[in-house]
Amino acid sequence: MDSTDLLPVGRRVAYWRGRRKLSQQVLADRLGKSKSWVDKVERGVRSLDKVSTLQDIAAVLRIDTAVLLGRDAQPAGLVERVEGVERIRVALSAYEIALERPAARRPVLPAERLTREAAHVWTTFQHARYPQVIDLVPELVADAQRTHAHDPEAGRAPLVEAYRVTASLLVKLGAPDVAWLAVDRAMIAATGDRVLVAAAAVQLGQVLRESGRTRMAKSVMLAAAYRIAPPVIEYGTPPELSLCGTLLIQAALAAARLGDDRTATDLIDEAADMAARVGDGHDHHRTGFGPTAVELARVATAMELGEAREATARHEKATTRDGWRWLPAEHRAAHLIDAARAYLQADDPVNAGRVLMEADRIAPAEIHHRPAGRDILAQVAREPTAPATLIQLAATLGVG
């Protein structure tokens, strides 16, 4: 074992920065960060748990990401996540079909079977079984591309679904750059079919916001929403309304991040009218859209606007609804992570710990494998009132 493998990740950054004869300022400039940010990383004050950031640092330092991570000394699951993202990147970067080099000895799946395979991966994702999804996605993408090449018409929808679930997973794993590749493929494949375009646009909105392209996210989501919107809301079908309402929510979240509270509120209200017609307990186009989902979106919007106390009050009301139990585990646990952040901002670490423990009960992978979950766990675990179980979990995962 190399002696650097025993160092915390921040110290390994400092070590390799020194080896490359780079100052903190130069490293910061090349990463698009501040010198203070680099200093905090190297001193361990700021955690490094986002896959894309680790990859960026490794690229600047001209080392493999695994060397930066130090396989024998890093937080549980982090190497597996980085390696999983890399496997997916490789799958998305393969051009066997375009180059007429299909993988040998692999049959072309019928479109009906591929549709079932994509649905299985979506269900696994919605149960927040991210390690399993990481294993399933590369093969799903390859199969979907082969089926589409063999039968473009029948293979089109399952190909879009394969790219959509891949993008959703990559956003969860903190790799928006690779997610962008998946969602771009989805939008291209969907072109010409307004329903498929709207479905792919849901993930496009997530990727744009995660990548910091907030204004673009708002503009694109509004365009996509009004393209799928029925001329008269009363005559809209539930799948159509679900897509339109979900896209309006995405636009509202972008507007809130831009500080435009009036637009955010108006868009959420518009989505609420559609949700009332869809009802709870449905999952059209994997949106989970309904009145409860809209109320959870109000919590997220309040958080984006910096209104933590309003966010916690709305959270407490929304999670008492019957529709709360009908949402996928992934959706509920992701919301609870947002709620924990809101409680911390509202200076209520006790409830932050409570909802984080609930998130871990519902979908452990949201905390074990998702950078956003690990970050909030580290923050809550540092509080004097943190439950012993959370402190133990943070120690087990190597965050803090």
Nearest to 2 by CA among 25, 19, 24, 27: 19
Is 167 part of any domain? Answer: no
What type of residue sits at position 363?
A
pLDDT average, residue stretch 359-385: 89
Q: Which of 74, 100, 126 is the last residue of a domain?
A: 74
Domain boundary among 74, 104, 122: 74
Structural domain of 341: 328-400
Asked whether residue 40 is domain-assigned, the answer is yes
Residue 282 lies in a domain: no
Residue with tokens 């090449």: 149
With a pLDDT cut of 90, the percent of the chain lying above it is: 65
- What's the confidence (pLDDT) of residue 107? 83
Of 336 and 375, the structure prediction assigns the larger pLDDT to 336
The 10s digit of each residue's pLDDT in 128-156 is 999 999 999 999 999 999 999 999 999 99
Q: What is the pLDDT of residue 3?
A: 47
Q: What is the pLDDT of residues 247-278, one digit of tens each?
A: 999 999 999 999 999 999 999 999 999 999 99
Angstrom CA distances, 307 to 256, 303, 346, stand at 11, 6, 9
pLDDT score, position 66: 66
Question: pLDDT at residue 179 above 50?
Answer: yes
The radius of gyration computed from the CA coordinates of the chain, to the nearest angstrom, equals 22
**Average pLDDT score over the chain:** 89
Q: How many domains does the chain have?
A: 2
User: Does some domain include residue 196?
Assistant: no
Would residue 53 count as lying in a domain?
A: yes
Q: What is the pLDDT of residue 73?
A: 44
Place 48 in a pLDDT band, splitting at 50, 70 and 90: confident
pLDDT at 182 over 70: yes
CB 312 within 8 A of CB 346: yes
pLDDT for position 316: 97
- Letter string b/e over residues 177-190, b meaning 16 or more CB atoms within 10 A of that residue's CB: bbbbbbbbbbbebb
Choose between 60 and 159: higher pLDDT.
Answer: 159
Look at residue 292 and tell me if it is in a domain.
no
Query: In this model, does residue 2 exceed pLDDT 50?
Result: no
Per-residue pLDDT tens for 61-94?
887 676 776 654 455 556 677 788 888 988 888 7
Confidence of residue 318 (pLDDT cuts 50, 70, 90): very high
What per-residue confidence (pLDDT) applies to 25? 93
CATH of the domain at 21: 1.10.260.40
The residue behind tokens 């435009």 is 260
Q: Indicate the residue among 30, 52, 74 that finishes a domain.
A: 74
CB of 179 closer than 8 Å to CB of 170: yes
Average pLDDT value for residue range 357-366: 95
Instruction: Please write the tens of the pLDDT for every residue from 186-215.
Output: 999 999 999 999 999 999 999 999 988 999
- CA dist 93 and 115 (Å) reads 22
Q: What is the pLDDT of residue 188?
A: 96
Tell me if 263 is assigned to some domain: no
What is the structure's pLDDT at 51?
66
Predicted confidence (pLDDT) per residue in 213-236, tens digit: 999 999 999 999 999 999 888 889
* 338 has pLDDT over 80: yes
Query: Average pLDDT of 344-366?
Result: 94
With respect to residue 367, please indicate whether it lies within any of the assigned structural domains.
Answer: yes
Q: Check residue 1 and give its pLDDT.
A: 44
The predicted pLDDT at position 385 comes to: 85
Q: Helix, strand, coil shares of the chain as percentages rounded to 5?
A: 75, 0, 25
pLDDT band at 105 (very low <50, low <70, confident <90, very high): low
pLDDT at residue 40 greater than cutoff 90: no
